[in-house]
A and B are shown apart, each in its own frame.
Chain A
Amino acid sequence: MDTVNNVKSSRRRISTTVAGLTGLLFLAGCATNAPQDTWQAKGPNAQKISDLQWIVFPIAGVVGVLVLALAGYIMFKYRDKGQPIPTQGHGKPTAEIILTIVPALILTVVGVFTFRAIFELAKTEDTEMIINVTGQQWWWEYDYPVQTELGINTPIISSGQLVMPVGTKVLLRETSRDVIHSYWIPALNGKKDAVPGRIHLLRLEADKPGIFAGQCTEFCGLSHANMRMEAVALSKEDFAKWVASQQKAYTSPADGTLAKEGETVFLNQCVRCHQVNGLKKADGTPALAAPDENVYSGAAPNLSHLMSRNTFAGAMFDLLRKSCRADVWDATSEEFGAKYLAGVSESCLNQTDLRAWLRNAPAMKPMYADPTKLTKTGGKYRGMPNLGLTENDIDKLVAYLLTLK
């Protein structure tokens, strides 16, 4: 008797646990502080996908529940109880016709809405701005070609954060330098693969100023999970200010400062891969980075105006300390532009992560950066190697990087 009770009691416990976990799973769907929630559209393109989900998911849900319930009912009712095998018949025209027509009708309804959404999302003829987006292991490069009507008179190049004006139909021209990646900012649109040798188009548009998080969604190697991105939407006035700041000429730090010494360290170590537009060597000639000689993808993030961005290392780490970051992320639409454009100040700089990155980057983010294991890439790194910088060099570099606004 005790054994029977024990079995019943353990069954009850299991049922309660399963029900509890299922309930928690459902409740998780109600979270509002979810930056990559596909149900929280912040622009017309994502809204079209969200609207389509509201049509397709209930239909698919009802069909799924009905099919599963029916299958469960049949399995339970006609389970083997030792009864004789029933007479086997063949064909039931009425049932077959119904079972063909009903799914066909359902699929037709779903198909009409789906195709309409696909064609609407593929529209590009009313584009107002273009940005070239290039993926590589494991970060995204953004370059803004000359678009004089937007104030972009010389190309702008950036990484980690894509900056765009609010209420503007922005067309991304995506490609990749190494393997297939996929660009996805759920709040602004669906996914689009970035394929080497091809240019794929994806349109983004944001309703209000703010930051929208994204994630590479095509497995692309060791640090795929750390290949993140953020889209920053600014009001048109603030975007014009951002464009102006990005086109500002380079200013070398004043002689005798720690930052000036950092510039020398940068020229000796970092400029092999990282470009800072306008930076000159000691002999006055332009310091041109040669990432093609050291990096498998042939590119490394351009660090001009680095401190105008909020992230680094493929948007894996914040350049802002937690409180400063929250201040920007939680800002109202009206305040957001000013807070974002303020960039990274010395007091807000996330020195811990930046210093750790400069000290030993591969320890912070998994990368193929071990010099003894680069035979397959002809000695070229995938990611940033450990440069063996001294603490003194790191101090100088941090001081220098802070000047890149």
Chain B
Amino acid sequence: MFTPSSKYFVGLTGIALVSAILYMFLINPSDLGAIALFGVAASSALVAGFTLFTRDGDAFTDEEAVAAATYAPGGSIWPIVFALGAALVLTGLATVPVVFILGIGVLFGAGLEWTIQNWSQRASADTAFNSFVRERAIGALEYPGLAAVGLAIIAYLFSRIVLAVSKEAGPIIFIVVAAAILVVGILISQKPALRGRVTVLISTAAVIALVVVGVIAALSGERHELAVSSEEDHYSAEHRECEVAASEHYDHLANNQVSLRSAVTATIFVEDGKLRAQAIGIKKDIDTITIPRSLGTTVIFRNLDETEHRLVVNLGSHTVAETGVKEKVGTCTQLTGKKQEQALTLTIPKPATSEEPYFFEVPGIEGEIKLVVP
């Protein structure tokens, strides 16, 4: 009654259902995990139904499939890979999460391969036929999966190289490598004689070079300025450099373009050396912007001046518990170029005190816009 493929999917359906029920009772009845397991059960049941209905696509008859109906097992590498996965999981639990995640991936991949191989070896006594059955079941997953892993490795190693070299050299390397790949590809397609050994040789050499250089680059770390920026926390909202002068790190590659329009509470302008603000629904310029407390609110800063400026919002001060030192609280945009703009989203949980009112300012420009949190 059951075809070889349907047995596999019926089994998978059963396991997924039991897992889902156990998950619901033991872990969380309304968690996404239960939904995912039920999803696996439903989809595998559907595939089982299809395979039963189509008799495995009529690729072979039941008679052929059970020609000898004897078990013809061969050697398998998957138990070793599975064990390696388990070791990685255990190591990852004790060391870093990335090893754990890698271990889970290896466990899942090896488990799947092992299961499919074992199942295919029971299809008949004919090893070639069994190999064909295995290919049918897993081939559609294997090639894209391996290709994705290969591409991820290439992208990761290449990114390490580009991050390690200077920012001028990065694009050049990228262009040279891309051009080389294009040239080799064209040569191989135009000269069929080059195919075969030469292709394998070039590919192997390229992969070895990439792995070696990538590993060296990863070990040597990112280029100096990136490492410093990251170490000194120049990218976080709490550590913005809001002075008049350009910051080497914070102002690096400012976007200066804002597509947001509909959710803006106010727009602050610098024009002819003066600061002014407008809000939706108010016809004239305003000198006070009201922001509801605890609500993410966006203000746009538009620089219509000839020189670069940044918008700074001052939110009072706080005392550092450990040192007792008073620190200014606030944030700012990056330096905004001539006739360009940036958005600043603020979430302010408490109103200002009368001693330290909140306000917007643009360093180097006279005046301020009051900020009220009622």
A interface residues, Cβ below 8 angstroms from B:
124-125, 127, 130, 132, 134, 141, 143, 145-147, 154-157, 171, 173, 175, 177, 196-199, 201, 275, 286, 288-293, 297-299, 302
List of B residues within 8 angstroms of A156 by Cβ: 374
Rounded to whole Å, the gap between the CB of B283 and the closest CB of chain A is 7
Partner of B263, one of A154, A198, A299: A198
**In the assembled complex, B281 has its CB within 8 A of some CB on chain A:** yes
**In the assembled complex, B150 has its CB within 8 A of some CB on chain A:** no
Query: Which residue of chain A lies nearest to B348 when distances are taken between CB atoms in the complex?
Result: A292
B295 adjacent to A177 (CB under 8 Å): yes
Which residues 284-332 in B have Cβ within 8 Å of A in the complex?
286, 288-290, 292-296
List of B residues within 8 angstroms of A127 by Cβ: 281-283
Query: Which residue of chain B lies nearest to A200 when distances are taken between CB atoms in the complex?
Result: B262
A134 adjacent to B292 (CB under 8 Å): yes
Partner of A143, one of B288, B292, B296, B350: B292
A146-B288, A146-B372, A201-B281 known; A298 and B294 CB under 8 Å?
yes
Query: Which residue of chain A lies nearest to B288 when distances are taken between CB atoms in the complex?
Result: A146
List of A residues within 8 angstroms of B47 by Cβ: none
Query: Which residue of chain B lies nearest to A170 when distances are taken between CB atoms in the complex?
Result: B281
List of A residues within 8 angstroms of B264 by Cβ: 199
State in angstroms the CA–CA spacing of A125 and B281 once bound together.
Answer: 7
B293 adjacent to A299 (CB under 8 Å): yes
Partner of B290, one of A132, A175, A197, A291: A132
Partner of A292, one of B262, B282, B289, B349: B349
List of B residues within 8 angstroms of A175 by Cβ: 263, 292, 295
**In the assembled complex, B178 has its CB within 8 A of some CB on chain A:** no
Rounded to whole Å, the gap between the CB of B192 and the closest CB of chain A is 58
List of B residues within 8 angstroms of A154 by Cβ: 372
List of B residues within 8 angstroms of A157 by Cβ: 374
B280 adjacent to A201 (CB under 8 Å): yes
B350 adjacent to A290 (CB under 8 Å): yes
A134 adjacent to B353 (CB under 8 Å): no
**In the assembled complex, B86 has its CB within 8 A of some CB on chain A:** no
A124 adjacent to B295 (CB under 8 Å): no
With A145-B286, A146-B372, A147-B282 known, 12 other A-B pairs at CB within 8 A are A130-B282, A134-B292, A143-B292, A143-B374, A145-B279, A156-B374, A196-B296, A275-B351, A286-B354, A291-B293, A292-B293, A292-B350
B294 adjacent to A197 (CB under 8 Å): no
Query: Which residue of chain A lies nearest to B263 when distances are taken between CB atoms in the complex?
Result: A198
A146-B288, A286-B353, A288-B350 known; A298 and B280 CB under 8 Å?
no
B263 adjacent to A199 (CB under 8 Å): yes
B290 adjacent to A143 (CB under 8 Å): yes
Rounded to whole Å, the gap between the CB of B290 and the closest CB of chain A is 4
**In the assembled complex, B127 has its CB within 8 A of some CB on chain A:** no
A132-B292, A291-B294, A299-B292 known; A155 and B372 CB under 8 Å?
yes
**In the assembled complex, B265 has its CB within 8 A of some CB on chain A:** yes
State in angstroms the CA–CA spacing of A385 and B139 once bound together.
Answer: 58
Rounded to whole Å, the gap between the CB of A309 and the closest CB of chain B is 16
B296 adjacent to A124 (CB under 8 Å): no
Query: Which residue of chain A lies nearest to B297 when distances are taken between CB atoms in the complex?
Result: A175
A171 adjacent to B281 (CB under 8 Å): yes
State in angstroms the CA–CA spacing of A387 and B348 once bound together.
Answer: 26
List of A residues within 8 angstroms of B286 by Cβ: 145-146
State in angstroms the CA–CA spacing of A154 and B288 once bound together.
Answer: 10
Query: Which residue of chain B lies nearest to A156 when distances are taken between CB atoms in the complex?
Result: B374
Query: Which residue of chain A lies nearest to B294 when distances are taken between CB atoms in the complex?
Result: A298
The residue in B288, B289, B295 that gathers the most chain A C-beta atoms within 10 A of its C-beta is B295
Rounded to whole Å, the gap between the CB of A157 and the closest CB of chain B is 4
Partner of B280, one of A199, A286, A299, A302: A199
B349 adjacent to A298 (CB under 8 Å): yes
Rounded to whole Å, the gap between the CB of A289 and the closest CB of chain B is 8
Partner of B295, one of A155, A286, A293, A298: A298
Rounded to whole Å, the gap between the CB of A68 and the closest CB of chain B is 41
List of B residues within 8 angstroms of A198 by Cβ: 262-263
Partner of A146, one of B263, B265, B290: B290
B372 adjacent to A145 (CB under 8 Å): yes
List of B residues within 8 angstroms of A302 by Cβ: 374
List of B residues within 8 angstroms of A130 by Cβ: 279-282
B353 adjacent to A173 (CB under 8 Å): no
A288 adjacent to B292 (CB under 8 Å): no
Which residues 324-374 in B have Cβ within 8 Å of A in the complex?
349-351, 353-354, 372, 374
A290 adjacent to B353 (CB under 8 Å): no
Query: Which residue of chain B lies nearest to A293 when distances are taken between CB atoms in the complex?
Result: B349
Rounded to whole Å, the gap between the CB of B320 and the closest CB of chain A is 19
State in angstroms the CA–CA spacing of A274 and B350 once bound together.
Answer: 12
Rounded to whole Å, the gap between the CB of A150 and the closest CB of chain B is 12
State in angstroms the CA–CA spacing of A289 and B293 once bound together.
Answer: 11
B262 adjacent to A199 (CB under 8 Å): yes
Query: Which residue of chain A lies nearest to B293 when distances are taken between CB atoms in the complex?
Result: A299
A145 adjacent to B290 (CB under 8 Å): yes
List of A residues within 8 angstroms of B350 by Cβ: 288-290, 292
Partner of A134, one of B279, B280, B288, B295: B295
List of A residues within 8 angstroms of B265 by Cβ: 173, 199
Could you jot down 15 A-B contacts, CB within 8 Å?
Answer: A124-B280, A130-B281, A134-B292, A147-B282, A155-B290, A156-B374, A197-B263, A199-B264, A288-B350, A291-B293, A292-B293, A292-B349, A297-B294, A298-B295, A299-B292
State in angstroms the CA–CA spacing of A298 and B282 once bound together.
Answer: 27
Q: How does the 8 Å CB contact mask read for B256-268 relative to A, with 1 for contact and 0 for none?
A: 0000001111000
State in angstroms the CA–CA spacing of A292 and B292 once bound together.
Answer: 12
A134-B295, A146-B288 known; A288 and B351 CB under 8 Å?
yes
Which residues 200-238 in B have Cβ within 8 Å of A in the complex?
none
State in angstroms the CA–CA spacing of A198 and B283 once bound together.
Answer: 20
Partner of A155, one of B263, B280, B283, B374: B374
Rounded to whole Å, the gap between the CB of A4 and the closest CB of chain B is 52
List of B residues within 8 angstroms of A171 by Cβ: 281
A130-B281, A298-B349 known; A177 and B263 CB under 8 Å?
no
State in angstroms the CA–CA spacing of A198 and B295 once bound together.
Answer: 11
List of A residues within 8 angstroms of B374 by Cβ: 143, 155-157, 302
List of A residues within 8 angstroms of B280 by Cβ: 124, 130, 173, 199, 201
B293 adjacent to A298 (CB under 8 Å): yes
Which residues 93-117 in B have Cβ within 8 Å of A in the complex?
none
State in angstroms the CA–CA spacing of A146 and B374 once bound together.
Answer: 11
State in angstroms the CA–CA spacing of A233 and B361 once bound together.
Answer: 38
Rounded to whole Å, the gap between the CB of A276 and the closest CB of chain B is 12
State in angstroms the CA–CA spacing of A141 and B283 once bound together.
Answer: 24
Rounded to whole Å, the gap between the CB of B278 and the closest CB of chain A is 12
List of B residues within 8 angstroms of A288 by Cβ: 350-351, 353
State in angstroms the CA–CA spacing of A156 and B374 once bound together.
Answer: 7
